[in-house]
């Protein structure tokens, strides 16, 4: 028997680009049979996003492993019929079209529920299935901006900055849907009744923007950018440039850690500048900027080694790959792809007892498993050939 916790569960994945595929990546890594369904045209744009002509984009390879792939034209009646036949065998359907598209295609929640009442049907969109913005186009930056995050991100007295991490796509469009799907799936196993899971990526950010909410509740307004406890106001929670242009992160929020930092730096006079003591952080920020600029990052790492006070190097991903903690936890893995060759990827962020993560299959080629999957629902070779000739697959 498989040790994978989602073994035996089938997921039909109609999503593309980043949010939905990351969600189903986690489900696939946990053992679900994820079937990536692409149209018969361009398919998932992530296949070529930022890649050289004729190559597969690394992001596509990273977020579509352990899935099977098929091509299906849902604008044709036979394509819809095949999808509904597949849905009869599935536990989850996940889509990320604009609201209303799947209903017009004939593969929306009501159509699928009619053939499979226990289905968990998850819809990921920028603003949700209801409300005045429901049909608006958008991307991660737009969703973070509406959720109050972008305005809070950046230096004091500076402009908002765009992080190279898609918070709405990943938090709102991958982690939150996975949470909703698993909750609904658990309930469906108990009751035999599925659920519709409506996920707005904007809300995935909004509902986790708790520091800004705290300021709003306590002060009646959010604080200016860079002026909150965790956004650069304090000396004890800040980033400082070393002499080689790299940086050190000081996360000494607790008094005991800050006191240790001051002792290591030979500046016990800065201890009263800590927020818990009600001190002014500005003199300490300037002092630490000057001090950290006198040595390289590597030198500071050595100086703080053995001092448990939340001071760490700011690593780029090259250095993170070689970091002993990540290596010990096996967080970077390599696999072989028939077209792309040796591929570097992240391991899953979960470590479950009695479960060993493995890459059973690389990211699928466009329509790679179409024949295999159609055979599983009873299509013989003659019908598959006819479907292909008609452009349905």
For residues 33 and 91, what is the distance between their CA atoms, to the nearest angstrom? 10
Bridging pattern class, strands 10-13 and 92-95: parallel
Give me Rg for the CA atoms of the chain: 25
Catalytic residue among 44, 73, 169, 198: 169
Catalytic site includes residue 369: no
Helical H runs in the chain?
19-29, 58-63, 77-88, 101-105, 109-115, 140-146, 167, 176-191, 201-206, 210-219, 255-264, 282-292, 297-304, 317-322, 324-328, 370-376, 381-389
What residue has token string 């098929």? Answer: 70
Identify which of 83, 20, 9 has the alpha carbon closest to the alpha carbon of residue 393.
Answer: 83
Identify which of 266, 250, 269, 267 has the alpha carbon closest to the alpha carbon of residue 309.
Answer: 250
User: How many other β-carbons are positioned within 10 Å of the β-carbon of residue 159?
Assistant: 9
Compute the residue count for the chain: 393
- DSSP state, residue 13: E
For residues 128 and 126, what is the distance between their CA atoms, to the nearest angstrom? 6
For residues 306 and 326, what is the distance between their CA atoms, to the nearest angstrom? 19
Q: What angle do CA 33, 73, 78 make, to 5 degrees?
A: 95
Catalytic residue among 39, 85, 139, 323: 139
Catalytic site includes residue 139: yes
Cα separation of the two ends of the chain? 33
Bridging pattern class, strands 332-337 and 341-346: antiparallel
For residues 201 and 127, what is the distance between their CA atoms, to the nearest angstrom? 6
10 membership: H or E segment, kind and range: strand 10-13
For residues 373 and 391, what is the distance between their CA atoms, to the nearest angstrom? 17
Residues recognised as catalytic: 139, 169
């Amino acid at each position: 028997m498989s040790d994978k916790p989602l073994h035996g569960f089938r997921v039909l994945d109609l999503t593309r680009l980043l949010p939905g595929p990351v969600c189903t990546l986690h489900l696939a890594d946990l053992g679900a049979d994820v079937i990536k369904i692409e149209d018969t045209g361009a398919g998932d744009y992530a296949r070529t996003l930022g890649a050289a002509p004729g190559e597969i984009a690394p992001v596509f390879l990273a977020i579509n492993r352990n899935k099977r792939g098929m091509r299906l034209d849902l604008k044709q009646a036979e394509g819809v019929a095949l999808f509904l036949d597949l849905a009869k065998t599935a536990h989850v359907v996940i889509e990320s079209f604009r609201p209303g598209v799947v209903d017009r295609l004939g593969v929306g929640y009501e159509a699928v529920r009619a053939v499979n009442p226990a289905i968990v049907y998850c819809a990921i969109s920028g603003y949700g299935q209801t409300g005045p913005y429901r049909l608006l186009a958008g991307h991660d930056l737009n969703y973070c901006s509406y959720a109050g995050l972008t305005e809070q991100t950046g230096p004091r007295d500076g402009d908002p900055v765009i992080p190279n991490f898609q918070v709405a796509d990943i938090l709102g469009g991958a982690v939150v849907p996975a949470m909703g799907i698993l909750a609904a799936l658990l309930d469906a196993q108990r009751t035999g009744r599925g659920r519709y899971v409506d996920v707005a990526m904007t809300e995935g950010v909004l509902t986790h923007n708790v520091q800004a909410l705290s300021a709003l509740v306590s002060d009646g307004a959010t604080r200016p950018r860079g002026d909150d406890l965790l956004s650069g106001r304090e000396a004890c929670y800040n980033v400082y440039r070393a002499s080689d242009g790299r940086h050190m992160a000081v996360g000494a929020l607790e008094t005991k850690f800050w006191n240790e930092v001051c002792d290591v730096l030979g500046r016990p006079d800065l201890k009263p500048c800590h927020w818990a003591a009600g001190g002014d952080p500005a003199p300490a920020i300037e002092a630490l900027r000057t001090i950290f600029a006198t040595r390289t990052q590597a030198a500071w790492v050595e100086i703080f080694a053995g001092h448990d006070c939340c001071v760490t190097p700011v690593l780029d991903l090259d250095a993170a790959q070689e970091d002993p903690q990540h290596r010990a936890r096996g967080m970077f893995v390599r696999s072989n792809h028939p077209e792309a060759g040796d591929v570097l990827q992240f391991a899953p962020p979960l470590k479950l007892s009695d479960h060993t993560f493995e890459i059973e299959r690389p990211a699928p080629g466009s329509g790679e498993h179409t024949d295999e999957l159609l055979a599983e629902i009873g299509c013989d070779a003659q019908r598959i050939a006819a479907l292909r000739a008609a452009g349905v697959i």
